[in-house]
């Protein structure tokens, strides 16, 4: 077994044992780490691997959250069944956005801006159409039984988040080793060269955004089941988009572990600054302190570590 | 194998290519020369699907490919390289070439194996693990060639693969191009390095101001007064002869 494989196994072992020893509060923190790493990975697959930077990824998150919640609340579906339906909806939205944007030839920052616009349109729609109950938001009836995707013990939701994160890591790992992934990287590095080498750039970009959209939508359903409440600004708020982008960039966009490492780093910063703000009187009025630190960190990363924290461990590419 | 008939392409008011025709036959090395700005690269891009021609036809292996997107043309067996090299900077040479070999196999092991064979053919076997961004100019030119070869083409369009190389490097790459032809791949190349064109190409087309002004063996072309004037200016042929 390679050193990387051993490290991964040890890491997974710790992640599995951790909630058995940690208090509930820290189990929740761990759950958030894996959840954010998961939605971050959905961004990373499109933004990091394929270079299709989106500023509005939350559009898929919200589509997933609303789809499963509406199916559940309005139509009485079981949430476990509504989950794949939500992923399907996220995939369809991804496909549509990709089809429209890439057919129009939007690249780089133009694509980023159009995704932001889509997310805003969805937020406004969710605020105004009747079936989302507008700004009131939607409440999922609390009934804490596993069959309802609701759990008394936070350990289960933690394990689900861990499983999602693992699946997303596996998907990213596959992308580093298969043809689809190689083509995405080629498109990111140089679209014209990719085209000359026989890659159907449009089709591959649509494919990756569909996959990314479906993944992110799965995160939306998970979030709705955890908090049992969504409203337009939670489900389609720009801060979630930023979070997904931020963890990937901080950890290392286009790397397998980037979003996970970024998520750990940002969560640690978040918790430490919260604690600092509570004990240092001078910092009490800097609210929230974590955003200030995020900002500084992003500037430093972009300027000094364009490959993110993963760039610190960068070694020569290995080959089997 | 390749027939281009009266192809035209304008940008705004500028006729970059004006009713240009050319033929490439199986197994040939054909050169395309012309002064700067003659429209050579535009003609290439129009043949390979990067520009849609305004008029004219491109027929490849009996199939009309006019206006098809580049990836379809590549799949049909014709691939171009870029004058300004376009390496995938952040991945290794091996992975760069694998993007090409993946065109006809989804199997990673096969793609990798073939990529290594192609690298050997262009003399990059020792640089497989180098990053695209870390290559020298000569390395980039070779990589450009390798990636195109990796797609398994029947016709290779080479856009100034020798520009910016020193004489030793040119000699090496000329040999690589000969080897490629001997392996059964037909080649159409744009080139500025005349010595290379003369030693490689069996036939040469000359493009000037978007028009095809001459066609023939390299020796015949060098004697053509129209060609001499295109390069050296009006009246030059007469002066030289005197």
Chain B residues lying within 8 Å of A192, measured CB to CB: 50, 82, 86
The residue in chain A having the minimum alpha-carbon distance to the alpha carbon of residue B92 is A317
Domain B2-85+151-241, CATH 3.30.300.30 — does that match? Answer: no
Compare CB distances from B99 to A177, A183, A319 and report the shortest one's residue. A183
Interface with A, mutate which of B65, B73, B94, B99 (most A CBs under 10 A): B99
Question: What is the pTM assigned to this prediction?
Answer: 0.90
Q: What is the model's pLDDT at position B242?
A: 66
Mean pLDDT of B76-104: 93
Q: What is the pLDDT of residues A165-207, one digit of tens each?
A: 999 999 999 999 999 999 999 999 999 999 999 999 999 999 9
Residue ranges per structural domain of chain B: 2-85+151-241
Using a pLDDT cut of 90, give the percent of chain B over it.
71
Q: Is A179 on the interface with B (CB under 8 A)?
A: yes
Compare CB distances from B70 to A185, A190, A196 and report the shortest one's residue. A196
CB atoms within 10 A of CB B193: 19
Confidence of residue A316 (pLDDT cuts 50, 70, 90): very low
Helix (H) or strand (E) holding B106: none
The residue in chain A having the minimum alpha-carbon distance to the alpha carbon of residue B132 is A189
Interface with B, mutate which of A180, A183, A185, A193 (most B CBs under 10 A): A193
Q: Which of A255-269, A286-300, B33-47, B150-164 shows the lowest mean pLDDT across its residues?
A: A286-300
CA proximity to A70, closest of A88, A85, A92, A90: A85
Q: Number of A:B CB contacts under 8 A?
A: 83
The residue in chain A having the minimum alpha-carbon distance to the alpha carbon of residue B129 is A317
Q: What is the model's pLDDT at position A315?
A: 52
Any idea of the CA torsion for A167, A168, A170, A172, to the nearest 10 degrees? 170
| Tokens describing residue A164 | 């999602």
| Tokens describing residue B238 | 């007469």
**Cα B34 from Cα B211, distance rounded (Å):** 10
Q: What is the pLDDT of residues B39-59, one digit of tens each?
A: 899 999 999 999 999 999 999
Mean pLDDT of B25-33: 93
**Bridging pattern class, strands B2-11 and B55-60:** antiparallel
Q: Do A201 and B71 touch (CB under 8 A)?
A: yes
Chain A residues lying within 8 Å of B132, measured CB to CB: 189
Confidence of residue B238 (pLDDT cuts 50, 70, 90): confident
Is residue A98 packed enough to be buried (19+ CB in 10 Å), middle (13-18) or exposed (0-12)?
A: buried
Query: What is this model's ipTM?
Result: 0.89
CB A43 within 8 A of CB A216: yes
Helix (H) or strand (E) holding B133: none
Q: Do B106 and A190 touch (CB under 8 A)?
A: no
CB B132 within 8 A of CB B88: yes
Q: Is A314 on the interface with B (CB under 8 A)?
A: no
């Amino acid at each position: 077994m390679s050193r990387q494989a051993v490290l991964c196994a040890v890491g997974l072992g710790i992640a599995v044992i951790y909630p058995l020893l940690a208090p509930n509060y820290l189990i929740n923190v761990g759950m958030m780490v894996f959840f954010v790493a998961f939605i971050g990975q959905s961004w990373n697959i499109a933004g990091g691997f394929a270079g299709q930077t989106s500023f509005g990824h939350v559009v898929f998150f919200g589509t997933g959250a609303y789809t499963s919640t509406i199916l559940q609340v309005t139509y009485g579906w079981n949430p476990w069944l509504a989950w794949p339906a939500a992923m399907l909806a996220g995939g369809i939205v991804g496909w549509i956005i990709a089809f429209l944007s890439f057919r129009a030839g939007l690249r780089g920052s133009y694509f980023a801006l159009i995704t932001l616009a889509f997310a805003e349109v969805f937020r406004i729609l969710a605020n105004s159409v009747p079936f989302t109950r507008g700004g009131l938001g939607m409440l999922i009836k609390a009934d804490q039984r596993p069959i309802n995707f609701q759990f008394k013990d936070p350990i289960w939701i933690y394990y689900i988040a861990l499983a999602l994160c693992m699946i997303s890591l596996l998907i990213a790992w596959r992308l580093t080793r298969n043809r689809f992934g190689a083509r995405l990287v080629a498109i990111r590095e140089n679209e014209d060269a990719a085209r000359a080498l026989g890659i159907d750039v449009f089709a591959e970009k649509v494919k990756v955004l569909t996959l990314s959209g479906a993944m992110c939508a799965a995160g939306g359903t998970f979030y709705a089941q955890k908090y049992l409440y969504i409203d337009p600004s939670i489900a389609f708020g720009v801060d979630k988009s930023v979070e997904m982008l931020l963890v990937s960039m901080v950890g290392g966009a286009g790397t397998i572990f980037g979003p996970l490492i970024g998520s750990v780093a940002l969560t640690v910063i978040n918790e430490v600054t919260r604690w600092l703000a509570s004990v240092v009187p001078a910092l009490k009025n800097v609210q929230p302190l974590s955003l200030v630190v995020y900002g500084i960190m992003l500037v430093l990363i972009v300027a000094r570590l364009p490959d993110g924290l993963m760039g610190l461990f960068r070694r020569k590419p290995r080959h089997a | 194998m390749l027939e281009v008939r009266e192809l035209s392409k304008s940008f705004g008011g500028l006729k970059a290519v004006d009713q240009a025709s050319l033929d490439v036959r199986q197994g040939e090395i054909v050169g395309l020369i012309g002064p700067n700005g003659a429209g050579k690269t535009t003609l290439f891009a129009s043949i390979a699907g990067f520009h849609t021609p305004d008029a004219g036809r491109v027929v490849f292996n009996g199939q009309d490919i006019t206006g098809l997107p580049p990836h379809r043309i590549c799949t049909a067996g014709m691939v171009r390289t870029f004058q300004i090299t376009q390496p995938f900077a952040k991945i290794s040479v091996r992975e760069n070439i694998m993007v090409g070999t993946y065109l006809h196999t989804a199997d990673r092991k096969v793609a990798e194996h073939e990529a290594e064979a192609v690298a050997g053919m262009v003399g990059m076997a020792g640089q497989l693990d180098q990053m695209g961004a870390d290559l020298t100019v000569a390395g980039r030119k070779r990589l450009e060639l390798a990636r195109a070869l990796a797609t398994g083409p029947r016709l290779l369009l080479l856009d100034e693969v020798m520009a910016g190389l020193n004489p030793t490097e040119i000699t090496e790459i000329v040999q690589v191009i000969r080897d490629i032809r001997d392996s059964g791949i037909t080649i159409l190349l744009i080139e500025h390095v005349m010595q290379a064109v003369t030693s490689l190409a069996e036939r040469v087309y000359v493009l000037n101001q978007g028009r095809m002004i001459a066609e023939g063996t390299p020796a015949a072309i060098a004697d053509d007064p129209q060609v001499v004037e295109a390069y050296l200016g009006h009246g030059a042929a007469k002066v030289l002869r005197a």
